[in-house]
Structure 1
Amino acid sequence: MEKIAVFDGHNDAVQFMLDYKPGGRDFLIRSETGHLDLPRAIEGHLVGGLFALHAYPERKPENDLTVTNEGYEVRYADALEEGYARRLIDAQLAAIDLLIRRSSGRMRLTTDVGSIETARAESAFAVVLHMEGAEAMGPDLDYLHILHTAGLRSLGLVWSRPNIFGYGVPFAYPRSPDTGPGLTDIGRELVRACNALGIMIDLAHLNERGFWDVAAFSTAPLVATHACAHALCPSTRNLTDRQLDAIRDTDGVIGFNLAVYDIRADAHLDENTPLDTVVSHIGYLIDRVGVDRVALGSDFDGTVVPREIRDASGLPHLFAAMRKAGFDEPTLRKFAFDNWLRVFRLTWKNG
């Protein structure tokens, strides 16, 4: 079988990079911890992806998880202060720049489809800058323009907490994603600004009312970089059929999240989730929105993935399972690579 080149719609590897986190992992050297580094990407035929800049609080809250017989709920995260978040994002940008320079051409910052395709042809790993949560921006949106000049091409308006632009969903199961108010007025301005600059808007982590506000105001295809189907696993992070239909109707993309607790019907945090369950969930999404609108959004280094995949090097196991289930090669190539580039062409001003 032909090797399938993969472009991934979401990872959190920046948080663990040696160039950002003292004592972290050197992305250029194979590790046995975490999910993603350049050697394991090459082993898994991963040729690029969206790298998430994200500001975490200084200290993780304690005792924030409540588990019941029916499911779970995580205490809603507090808002972050703009200056604190910006310092972290600036440090992460500097770390990615240093990493790319250290890679001696093996990794490239890519800001258009042509540069992604060139990187792939020349066996270089394509890095696209994404930011998960807009806490680092003030209401004047000046920082958005700075980030765009630095290479940002994808933005999640919120993470699972509130900010001045809107409201993320708390992590909970079983529960609707309709958990609070929609976008604020400045949130709508941020949507318009992203449209004008050609920055892709990521709907992952946004609550349902915010989703529909973006759908009403955005002129670009609707995209969720890492999510699954609420009909199969009713967690707040997953998308209802009506939301999936809206993505379909705008010719957008849903990046399939490998988080086991968003794939499984019981939402259990169990890495022994069978690949048959994973593939069945992918099939549901494809049946709902079409083969051109489902891609991979792994959430590597940000979640628990099925043991049979384990990390980026195990992605061929996923595609083998999809083949076994009857997916043909054109569908696999669309899921693995083509669908992301298609929506980038529709969204980015420079193609």
Structure 2
Amino acid sequence: METLVFDGHNDALSRLWGGMVEPVTEFAGTNGHVNVPNCAKGGMKAGFLAIYSPMNRGVFDFSSFDPAIFDMPMPPIMDEAVALTSAIGQAAIARALHDAGQIEIVTNAPGLAQAFMADPIACVLHLEGADCIGPDLLALDALYALGLRSLGIVWSRPTIFGDGVPFGLGRDGDTGAGLTEDGKRLVTRCKELGIVVDTSHLTMKGFWDVAETDVPLVATHSNACAVLNTTRNLTDDQLAAIGETGGIAGLNFGTIFLTAEAWKTGKAPLDACIKHLAHMVEIAGEDHVALGSDFDGAPLPEGIETAADLPKLVQAMTDAGFGQTLIAKITHENWLAHLGSHFDRKS
């Protein structure tokens, strides 16, 4: 029996925008990690499709791995207008895919439940880094009108709302300041609109600032510091808080978030995913752990080349003795339950 998958984070929209291609034709083909045929083969029925504003327009090259790209100073704050141009472009690509029947942009609980069982890929539109939003928050409301229902306050660079973590090995995410006053207003506005607040890439201080706003703590694509201590992973205290607040932690497939060796080679074995999942379940609880692949945005573990290979991860979970009930929770039920209740609270 096929195991269905809800993916908590991928960069397919950024790939399509960065490649400057005709999106509907490209998404129907086999390029990249996430596309129509790969999702169909891998059982991926839904996902958070991220809008991400890069400093330079292009597609991430997975053919080679250069560890130097992760050993660099924190980027500066991105120009709001430049970030908005790419954000609007990617939102328009999402709409084109929606209109072509390749994805279904979902904004409420009934729509999510229906789309998950239909042919188009159910899409929760996500903003990875609020670089394109000014202090008046007007761009947030505009993106909400376009279907945005999830927001990461930062990528790994600062914004006017808070600090992101640099990519670093051997230390946790306690690398900088927390939310600014504008950042606290942004979270409050997201709460009013019913937008999920994602703490991935955020400093530890920022994470705990979000906790004080009384929203469920969500980290769509972040792993466990206890397994690999990196700035992008979560401490046990953070994982426990995610469980206690009814949030979700999504396993990131990116190799540098899985093993220390990947910081040299870019490679990691598939069983590293299982080690992180097991620890995340132990600390956060089995109802609060899911998947957040980072497809199209990170090098992947051995055996997982695209979304078509998701059954291999499911088999690895089975081989590790997870059991079908737990596997179903991790692969799709936890995201569906969390988002369903989140949308219901707003409505």
TM-score (norm 2): 0.92
The residue identity in structure 2 corresponding to 1:4 is T
Contact 1:221 1:252 in 2 (8 A): yes
In 2, the alpha carbon distance for the partners of 1:100 and 1:302 equals 22
In 1, the alpha carbon distance for the partners of 2:283 and 2:260 equals 18
User: In structure 2, what is the equivalent of residue 297 of structure 1?
Assistant: 292
User: In structure 1, what is the equivalent of residue 201 of structure 2?
Assistant: 205
Are residue 277 (structure 1) and residue 275 (structure 2) matched? no
Contact 2:67 2:263 in 1 (8 A): no
Question: How far 1:266 sits from its partner (Å)?
Answer: 4.0
Are residue 141 (structure 1) and residue 141 (structure 2) matched? no
Contact 1:134 1:163 in 2 (8 A): yes
The residue identity in structure 1 corresponding to 2:209 is D
Residue deviations 1:146-173, cap 9 Å, x none?
Answer: 1112111100000100110000001111
The counterpart of 1:110, out of the listed 84, 106, 111, is: 106
In 1, the alpha carbon distance for the partners of 2:57 and 2:76 equals 11
In 1, the alpha carbon distance for the partners of 2:2 and 2:320 equals 18
Structure 2: runs of 5+ lacking an equivalent? 59-65
The counterpart of 2:47, out of the listed 46, 49, 52, is: 49
User: In structure 1, what is the equivalent of residue 61 of structure 2?
Assistant: none
In 1, the alpha carbon distance for the partners of 2:26 and 2:285 equals 35
Are residue 121 (structure 1) and residue 117 (structure 2) matched? yes
User: In structure 2, what is the equivalent of residue 224 of structure 1?
Assistant: 219
Aligned length: 338
Match of 2:9, SS? strand
Structure 1: runs of 5+ lacking an equivalent? none
Match of 2:46, SS? strand
In 2, the alpha carbon distance for the partners of 1:183 and 1:87 equals 25
Contact 2:10 2:297 in 1 (8 A): yes
Question: Kindly tell me: are residues 101 and 323 of structure 1, through their superposed partners in 2, closer, same or farther at Cα, counting changes over 3 Å?
Answer: same
The counterpart of 1:193, out of the listed 189, 196, 210, is: 189
In 2, the alpha carbon distance for the partners of 1:234 and 1:179 equals 13
Contact 1:232 1:265 in 2 (8 A): no
> Aligned-pair RMSD on alpha carbons?
2.0
Match of 2:316, SS? helix
Are residue 243 (structure 1) and residue 238 (structure 2) matched? yes
Match of 1:28, SS? helix
In 2, the alpha carbon distance for the partners of 1:251 and 1:195 equals 15
In 1, the alpha carbon distance for the partners of 2:2 and 2:264 equals 31
Question: Kindly tell me: are residues 333 and 66 of structure 1, through their superposed partners in 2, closer, same or farther at Cα, counting changes over 3 Å?
Answer: closer
The counterpart of 2:20, out of the listed 1, 16, 22, is: 22
Match of 2:136, SS? coil
Match of 2:263, SS? coil
The residue identity in structure 2 corresponding to 1:257 is N
In 2, the alpha carbon distance for the partners of 1:277 and 1:14 equals 27
In 2, the alpha carbon distance for the partners of 1:4 and 1:52 equals 23
Match of 1:227, SS? coil
Question: How far 1:270 sits from its partner (Å)?
Answer: 4.3
Structure 1 stretch 285-294 or stretch 257-266: which is displaced more? Answer: 257-266
Contact 1:221 1:343 in 2 (8 A): no
Are residue 307 (structure 1) and residue 302 (structure 2) matched? yes
Contact 1:66 1:74 in 2 (8 A): no
Question: How far 1:265 sits from its partner (Å)?
Answer: 4.2
Contact 1:107 1:126 in 2 (8 A): yes
Contact 2:109 2:341 in 1 (8 A): no
Match of 2:339, SS? helix
The residue identity in structure 1 corresponding to 2:44 is L
The residue identity in structure 2 corresponding to 1:159 is W
Match of 2:27, SS? coil
Are residue 214 (structure 1) and residue 219 (structure 2) matched? no
Residue deviations 1:286-344, cap 9 Å, x none?
Answer: 11111100000000000011120111000000000100110111111110111112221
In 1, the alpha carbon distance for the partners of 2:143 and 2:74 equals 28
